[in-house]
Structure 1
Amino acid sequence: MDCYFITSCMDCYFITSSPFLRNPVPRTPPPSLSHLPTPPKCVAPSATTTPSNTLYLNKQLSAALKDRQTDKAWTSYQQFIDAELPSSTCLSRLVCQLAYQGTPLALTRAHSILSRLRKQQLVHRLDANALGLLAMATAKAGHPTPALSIIYSMLSIGHLPHVKAWSAVLSRLSTPRDALKLFHSILEHLSLSPEPALLSLSYPDVAAFNAVLNACANAGDAVNFVEIFSRMPKFELIPDALTYNIMIKFFARIERKELLVAVLEKMLAMKVAPCATSFHSLVAAYVGLGDLEMAEILVRAMSEGRQDVCALLRERSPRTTAMEFDEISSMIESLGLDISHDSSSAPLLLPKSYHPDSRIYTTLMKGYMHQGRLNDVMDLLETMEKQRDSSQPDEVTYTTVVTALVREGLMDRARAMLSEMASRKVPANRVTYNVLLKGYCRLVQMKKAEALVGDMKEAGIELDVVSYNILIDGCIVIDDSAKALSYFNEMRSKGIAPSKISYTTLMKAFASSGKPKLASKVFDEMLKDPRVEVDMVAWNMLLDAYCRLGLFEEAKSIVLRIKENGMVPDLATYGSLANAIAIARKPGEALLLWNEIKERCKDGGGEGPPPLKPDEGLLNTLADICVRSAFFKKALEIVVCMEENGIAPNKTKFKRIYVEMHSRMFTSQHASKARRDRRSDRKRAAEAFKFWLGLPNSYYGSEWRLEQFNGNVNEGDD
C-alpha cells in the first residue's frame, strides 16, 4: 500500500510513493523561512565535483546515515557543490535525522538543505516523511511560521503530510486565520484524492480537530467553531474531554454563561469522563465572566465531594429567554446541547468525586484579586495551606497573593510572603520578584527596588527583559533618564534582547526629560533591530518627544515619515501635533490639522484611511487654539463635532477666553469701509459663537447655523 510513516525511531524509514506525486496540484508559494538562523556556509572543495566523485560521496553519505553518524553525514553533504546533490534517498534520510535531533544547530542545517532545494526548485527531492518530520520538529522548537511554510510546500508538490505533522503545526499557529486556512487546505487536498483510503494517515484526528477548535474558541468565532465541530462525525470521530473543555472556553469567550453547565451535562450523557481540567475550565469561565458566586458554588461542591454538581449549577444558572433561545437555537442544535431544564428527568451525576487542586483554588483566588477582595484572597490561602493533598499552594498561588497585596499598596506584607514561601519550601520565581519590583517602582520606592534586585541575584534569579522594563519605567517616574539608559545598556551587555516595550519605555524617559534627539537615537536602534516590529506606538513616542517642546517642524517631518512607511496617523498622533501647535503658537497649522481630522471623521466606504473618532482631549485642544486665535467658524465646527460624539464642550472656559481676549473686537470706528466689509463674515461668526456661549449678541433669540457662513471665508484675513 502506498503510504508513509513518521516515527521517532529512525531505523523505521519508508519513502513516500503517494498518488499525489504523480498528479501534483500547483499551489501558492509558501512563506519564507526568515525566523530561522542563517545557515552555515557549505565548505566547498577546490576542484569541481566529477560524476565519479559524486558517486563516491553518495556512498560515503549513505554509509554515515546508515550508521546514524549524522555529523559525519553532514560533513559529507557539504562536499556537494553547485548543482550537484546527493540522491533523494540520502537527502531525505539526512533531513530526517537532523529533524529527529531537534537541536537549533540540527534544525538550521536541515533548513539550509531545504533552502538550497527551493532555490533550485527541487523540493520534490525530499519525500513526505522528511518534510513532515522537519515541519513537526520546527513547530515544536517554537517556529510555527517556517513550519507552516513546509506544510504548504508539501501540498504544492503533491505530498500530503501525516496528521501528526500538520496538527502539530496547526496547534502552534498564533492566529485563528492561519489555523483555519491550514485546516481547510488539508481537507481540500484530501477531497482531491481519487483513492481516499490510501491517504488515511493524513486524515484529521481528534487532536487535529481540537487544535482548530481551540483557535476558533480563542477568537470567539462562533460560525467556524460550530462548522468545524459538526464535521467530526463525517470522519467518524468522537469528541473527547479536551474537545468539551475547549467548548467551555468557547462559551466563556462569547459570554454565554447559561450554556456552561450544558457542556458538562453533554459530557456525562456521552459517557465522556470529565478531567481536572474540565472543572478548572468551568471555574475559569465563571471567574472570567465575573460570576464569582457560581465559581464558589462549584469549588465548594467539589471540596465536599458532591457528585450532583450539574444539578447545583443548573439550579443557579440564568434562564434563557425565548428571544435568546431563538438567537442560539441553531448553534445549540449543531453542538448537541440540551438546555430544556427538564426537572422530571433524573439529574446527571459525576462518575466520581473531584476535589479542587491548587490550580482551581488559585483561579478562584485570582477572581477575588481582580475584584479587590483581599480578605477572601488571604482566607483562601489559609484554607489551602491547611490541605494535605494537591491543593496546597504553589508558586503561582503565592504570586497571586503577592499581586493582590501589591495592588493594595501593602508592600511590606507582600515582601513578607517571600519568607512564608521559603518556610513552606516553595521557591519564589522571577515572576514573583517582578510583581514586587513593579510595586516598588509604582510607589517610587526605587531604593527598595534596587535592594530587591540584590536579593534576586542572591537567590540565583537573573533579571529578564520584563525586570529591566519595570526598572526603566521606574526611572521615568523619578525623571532619571540617565539611570534608565544605564539599565538598558546593562540589559544588552548581558545578552538580553530588548523588547518593543524596552525601546519605547527608554524613548519615553528621554521624551519626558526634554531630550528628543536621544529619543530619536533609540528609535533608530529599534528600526535596526530585526526582532522588533516598529508600530504606531513607537512612532507616536518619537513624535511626542518633539511635540512636548513645541518643535512643530520636526514633528511634521516625523508624520511625513509615518505616512511614507505606509502607516496611518491615529488619535495619539493628532493629539501630539495639536499640543505642539499650541506650544509653538501656530494657529494656521491648527486649521490645516482640523481639516485633515474632519475628513478622517467621514466614513469613506473603505476608500482611503480608516475613519477616525476624535476624543475629548484632541477636540478641546483644537477648539482652544481656534478660540484664542479668533477662528470662530472653525471653533463652531469643532463644537458641532464634539456634540455629535457625545462630548460636552467647556463653555465656561471658552466664555472666559472670549471675554478676556475678544470682547473689544470689531469696535474700531476708524476702519475703512472696505476693511469693515472684509471682516463682516468673521464678525457674523463671532456673533454666532457669542450666541452659543450665551453672551449678548446680534443674533440673540435666533439659532446659530454654520450653513449661513460663506464656505470660502478665510478666517486668517484681517
Structure 2
Amino acid sequence: MNATHTLSLHWVAPTRFFTSLFSSATASSPSAICKPSSLRVQTIKNSSNTSLSLSTASDKLPNTQDQKLLTLLQQRKTEEAWLSYTQCAHLPNPTCLSRLVSQLSYLNTVEGLTRAQSIIQRLRRERQLHRLDANSLGLLAVAAAKGGHTLYASSIVKSMLKSGYLPHVKAWSAVISRLAGSGDDGPLEAIKLFDSVMKRVRRFGNSEVIKDSRPDTGAYNAVLNACANLGDTKKFHKLFEEMSEFGCEPDALTYNVMIKLCARVDRKDLLVLVLERIIEKGIDLCMTTLHSLVAAYVGFGDLETAEKLIQGMREGRRDLCKILRESYSEAVYSDDDEETGNESDEFEKLLPNSVDFSSEPPELPHAVAPDSRIYTTLMKGYMKAGRVADTVRMLEAMRHQKDSSSHPDHVSYTTVISAFVKAGLMDRARQVVTEMARIQVPANLITYNILLKGYCQQLQIDKAEDLIREMVDEAGIEPDVVSYNTLIDGCILVDDSAGALTYFNEMRKRGIAPTKVSYTTLMKAFASSGQPKLANKVFDEMLKDPRVKVDLVAWNMLVEGYCKLGLVDEAKSIIQKMKDNGVHPNVATYGSLANGIALARKPGEALLLWNEIKERCGIENEGEESSSSSTLPPLKPDEGLLDTLADICVRAAFFRKALEIVACMEEHGIPPNKTKYKRIYVEMHSRMFTSKHASRARQDRRRERKRAAEAFKFWLGLPNSYYGSEWRLESAYGDE
C-alpha cells in the first residue's frame, strides 16, 4: 500500500440484523404498544384488535390506492405494501401510514428500519407527522433503540411527548434502558427522558388515560441503572423512594443495580448489606445477584473475598453473609463516614440494615452452587491481575465439575485466551482455539477479535490479516466494527496510514457503520503521519454522521495534528470552531497548542494563550478585576502545560510572564524546573542589559524588563540587584 490513496468517505447504514424487539408476550402483535393522550387521538376498534389512529376525512373516503395498501398491510404482506407505498402519487391516509411504519419497524431488519425512517422524514418535510399514531411511533422508537440508534429513538419519544402523545411504558422504558447502558452522555439523557415522561404522566389526573404509560418496575430499574452508571447516589435514592407511588416493588434486579452503585462509588463495605436486604425482604434470590457480588469484588481487586464467596457456594453453605462480613474489620464500617459525607445518609435510607451491625447476619433460604458464569468472572479477575497460571487452573477445575452448568463455555475459554494474549503468548492462545474446536465449543466473534488485537499489538499485521481470512472462510464469521477498528489501530502502530484508510473504506463497503472509535482512530493515523488535512476531512465526515457524537477527544486529536507541524493558526481556528460548537478546550487542548507555539517559535501567541488560561484558572491580573465571573468552566492546569509556557517565556525574555507562570505552578503543587530555566537564562540572557553604549532613552525603555529580569534571577538564585525576602514580581514593582 502506498501513501497516495485518495480518501473515500461516505455514509453507509449497517447491515446486521436487529435483535428481537419485544418479549414473547408482545411478539404476537405489533399494535397496542403505545397509548396516546386522549387530547390527541381517538380509539378505533376493529375485529382483530384495538388500533390507535387519527380520524380524518381521508379515512372515511379512502381511494383505490389506499384501499389496496390497507389490504396488503392487513394480509401482512409488508414488502408488497412498501412497493405500493412507493408508487403512490399522493400521501396515504393515516391508517395506512401508521400500519406501514409499525410493520416495517417490526421486521427487525436494518432495511425495515431505514424504510420506516424515510417515511418519518417525508412526513416531517411535509409537516404531516401528526398523521402517525402512537403505536407506530412507539414501535419505531423501540426498533431504533434495539438497533443501536439510541439518539434517534430518544428523539422519537421526545417528539411524541411534545405532540401530546403518551407512549406505552414498554416503548419509552426500552429507550431509557438503551440510553442508560450507552457511553458518552447516555445515562444523563436516560434520566432526563425519564423525568420528561414522568412530568407528563403526572399531569393527567385520569388514571385510565395513563394506565399503559405509567412506569413499572422495569422502567424504574432502567433509570436506576443510569444513576448507578453515573454514581449518582442522591438521584438513585429519590427514584427508589418514588417506586411505591406507582405501586412498583423493588425486585432482585433493582438490588443488583444497587450492588453496581455501591461498586461505582467505592463502597465495598455495603455489598454484603445489599445481599442481606434481599434476604430480609423475602425476594427470590437469583444467580445474577451472586454473580453481581462476585463481579463487584473482582472489580475492587479483592480476589480473596471473591474466592471465599465462591468456595462457600461450592460447599453448599447458606451463611454467605457471615463469610462476607468476616472479610472486613469493624473499622471498615466506621472510618469511611467522614469521607463519604451525605452519601452515607443516602445509603442509610436505601439500606436500613446498614445502621446496626450487632444482629446476626441472615442466611440464604437455600444453598446456591456456582455456575460457569461465576467461575468465569473470577477467571477474569485472575487475568486482569496477570495470574495466567491461576486462570488456566480454574479452567481445568471447571472441566472436572460434576454439575454440567459449571462446565466451561466459550466465554470461559475466551477469558483464558485473553490472559494469554495479555501476556503476549499468542501461540498458546491459538492452541486454546484449536482445543475449543476439538471439544465442539466453537470460537465466536469476540474470541477472534481478542486474537486479532493480540497480533496487532505485537505488530504482526500479516498474521492478523490471515486470521481475518480464517475467520470468514473457515469459521463463517463476518468481522464487525471492532475487528476493523483493531486492524486500523494495528496499521497505526506500524505507521501505515494508507492501510488504515483501506480498512476503513472496506468496512463501509461491507455496510458496517463506523463508530466514534473508527473515526478517531483513522484521524490518529493521519495526524501521526503528518497529514492533518486528511484528519480534518475524516473529522468533517464524523460531524455529519448522525449516529456518532463528536467528543472532546476528537477535537483534541485534530488540534494536536496541526500543532505537531507547528501550524498554530490552523490549530487556533479549530479551537475557535470547538468553542462555537459549545465545546470548551481542556488542559490537553491547551497543552497541544502550547507545544505548537514552541515549535513555531511564536512567543507572542504564548502570551495570548497564558491570558486565556489565567482567566480559566481565576488568576487576577495586577490592577484588574477578578475574572472569576467568566462563564467558562474552571481549569486546573497540569505540569506539562505550565512548563511549556514557562519555557517559551524564559527563552523569549518575557520574565514577568514567566514569574506569573511559575507562581501558578507552585500554587498548584507543581515544582518548577529551576535547573532548566537557569540553564536557559545563562545560555541566552546572561549578557542582557550590559551594553555601556546604549543611550539613556533606550536604557529607560528597558527599565521594566530589567526589573523583571532581576526578579527572575532572584527566583533562580543567580546574582542579582534585588535583595528582598520575597521573589514574587509584585515586590519587585512595589517601589515604582
Q: Secondary structure at the match of 1:543?
A: helix
Q: Conserved in 2, the CA contact under 8 Å of 1:549 and 1:580?
A: yes
Of 583, 586, 590, which residue of structure 2 is paired with 1:574?
A: 590
Residues 1:599 and 2:615 are matched in the alignment: yes
Of 184, 188, 191, which residue of structure 1 is paired with 2:195?
A: 184
1:364 CA displacement: 1.5
- Normalising by structure 1, we get a TM-score of 0.84
| Pair 170,607 (structure 1): closer, same or farther in 2 beyond 3 Å | same
Q: Secondary structure at the match of 2:487?
A: helix
| Pair 641,418 (structure 1): closer, same or farther in 2 beyond 3 Å | same
- In structure 1, the residue matched to 2:5 is none
| Pair 183,670 (structure 1): closer, same or farther in 2 beyond 3 Å | closer
- In structure 1, the residue matched to 2:449 is 434
| Pair 571,191 (structure 1): closer, same or farther in 2 beyond 3 Å | closer
- In structure 2, the residue matched to 1:251 is 262
Q: Secondary structure at the match of 1:171?
A: helix
Which letter does structure 2 place at the counterpart of 1:548? Answer: K
Within-5 A mapping of 1:88-487: 88-115=94-121, 125-174=131-180, 175-197=186-208, 199-317=210-328, 319=330, 320-321=333-334, 324=337, 327=342, 330-332=345-347, 334-335=349-350, 337-340=352-355, 345=360, 347-388=361-402, 389-460=404-475, 461-487=477-503
Which letter does structure 1 place at the counterpart of 2:722? Answer: Y
Residues 1:658 and 2:689 are matched in the alignment: no
Give the Cα–Cα distance (whole angstroms) in 2 for the partners of residues 15 and 262 of structure 1.
Answer: 39
Q: Secondary structure at the match of 1:231?
A: helix
| Pair 595,333 (structure 1): closer, same or farther in 2 beyond 3 Å | closer
Give the Cα–Cα distance (whole angstroms) in 2 for the partners of residues 15 and 364 of structure 1.
Answer: 42
- Give deviations 1:671-702, integer Å, cap 9, x for gaps: 22222222222222222212211122222463
Which stretches in structure 2 are left out of the alignment for 5+ residues?
1-24, 44-56, 181-185, 620-626
Give the Cα–Cα distance (whole angstroms) in 2 for the partners of residues 509 and 328 of structure 1.
Answer: 44
Which deviates further from its counterpart, 205-214 or 191-200? 191-200
Give the Cα–Cα distance (whole angstroms) in 2 for the partners of residues 496 and 110 of structure 1.
Answer: 20
1:299 CA displacement: 1.0
| Pair 442,260 (structure 1): closer, same or farther in 2 beyond 3 Å | same
- Give deviations 1:119-157, integer Å, cap 9, x for gaps: 666555544444444444443444444444444444445
1:224 CA displacement: 2.0
Within-5 A mapping of 1:543-622: 543-602=559-618, 604-605=627-628, 607-622=630-645
- In structure 1, the residue matched to 2:516 is 500
Within-5 A mapping of 1:504-543: 504-527=520-543, 529-543=545-559
Which letter does structure 1 place at the counterpart of 2:300? Answer: L
1:308 CA displacement: 1.3
1:639 CA displacement: 0.9
Which letter does structure 2 place at the counterpart of 1:637? Answer: E
| Pair 363,591 (structure 1): closer, same or farther in 2 beyond 3 Å | same
| Pair 89,683 (structure 1): closer, same or farther in 2 beyond 3 Å | closer
Which deviates further from its counterpart, 350-359 or 472-481? 472-481
- In structure 2, the residue matched to 1:716 is none
Give the Cα–Cα distance (whole angstroms) in 2 for the partners of residues 90 and 451 of structure 1.
Answer: 51
Compute the RMSD of aligned alpha carbons. 3.6
| Pair 259,651 (structure 1): closer, same or farther in 2 beyond 3 Å | same
| Pair 553,455 (structure 1): closer, same or farther in 2 beyond 3 Å | same
1:294 CA displacement: 1.8
- In structure 2, the residue matched to 1:668 is 691
1:287 CA displacement: 1.6
Q: Conserved in 2, the CA contact under 8 Å of 1:144 and 1:173?
A: yes
Give the Cα–Cα distance (whole angstroms) in 1 for the partners of residues 512 and 421 of structure 2.
Answer: 27
Q: Secondary structure at the match of 2:669?
A: coil
Q: Conserved in 1, the CA contact under 8 Å of 2:348 and 2:354?
A: no
Q: Conserved in 1, the CA contact under 8 Å of 2:316 and 2:368?
A: yes
Give the Cα–Cα distance (whole angstroms) in 2 for the partners of residues 587 and 413 of structure 1.
Answer: 55
1:408 CA displacement: 2.9
Give the Cα–Cα distance (whole angstroms) in 1 for the partners of residues 497 and 83 of structure 2.
Answer: 51
Q: Conserved in 2, the CA contact under 8 Å of 1:176 and 1:216?
A: yes
Give the Cα–Cα distance (whole angstroms) in 1 for the partners of residues 562 and 230 of structure 2.
Answer: 38
Identity of aligned residues (%): 60
| Pair 142,22 (structure 1): closer, same or farther in 2 beyond 3 Å | closer
Which deviates further from its counterpart, 14-23 or 409-418? 14-23
- In structure 2, the residue matched to 1:706 is 729
- In structure 2, the residue matched to 1:31 is none
Q: Secondary structure at the match of 1:351?
A: coil
Specify which structure has the bigger relative contact order, considering alpha-carbon pairs within 8 angstroms and separated by 6 or more residues. Answer: 2
Of 637, 642, 656, which residue of structure 2 is paired with 1:633?
A: 656
- Normalising by structure 2, we get a TM-score of 0.82
- Give deviations 1:267-301, integer Å, cap 9, x for gaps: 22222121110101111111222322221111111
Which letter does structure 1 place at the counterpart of 2:384? Answer: H
Give the Cα–Cα distance (whole angstroms) in 1 for the partners of residues 726 and 439 of structure 2.
Answer: 75
Which stretches in structure 1 are left out of the alignment for 5+ residues?
1-5, 25-48, 714-718
Q: Conserved in 2, the CA contact under 8 Å of 1:10 and 1:97?
A: no
- Give deviations 1:567-607, integer Å, cap 9, x for gaps: 43332332222222222322233223222322222285563
Give the Cα–Cα distance (whole angstroms) in 2 for the partners of residues 187 and 409 of structure 1.
Answer: 52
Which letter does structure 2 place at the counterpart of 1:348? Answer: P
1:309 CA displacement: 0.9
1:110 CA displacement: 4.2
1:424 CA displacement: 3.1
1:643 CA displacement: 0.9
Give the Cα–Cα distance (whole angstroms) in 1 for the partners of residues 96 and 464 of structure 2.
Answer: 58
| Larger Rg belongs to | 1
Q: Secondary structure at the match of 1:172?
A: helix
Which letter does structure 1 place at the counterpart of 2:395? Answer: L
| Pair 62,557 (structure 1): closer, same or farther in 2 beyond 3 Å | closer
Give the Cα–Cα distance (whole angstroms) in 1 for the partners of residues 448 and 583 of structure 2.
Answer: 38
Q: State the number of aligned residues.
A: 680
Give the Cα–Cα distance (whole angstroms) in 2 for the partners of residues 627 and 328 of structure 1.
Answer: 47
Q: Conserved in 2, the CA contact under 8 Å of 1:506 and 1:519?
A: yes
| Pair 555,92 (structure 1): closer, same or farther in 2 beyond 3 Å | closer
Which letter does structure 2 place at the counterpart of 1:260? Answer: L
| Pair 304,620 (structure 1): closer, same or farther in 2 beyond 3 Å | same
Of 709, 712, 725, which residue of structure 2 is paired with 1:689?
A: 712
Which letter does structure 2 place at the counterpart of 1:634? Answer: K
Which letter does structure 1 place at the counterpart of 2:337? Answer: E
- Give deviations 1:404-446, integer Å, cap 9, x for gaps: 2333333333343323333333222333333333333333344
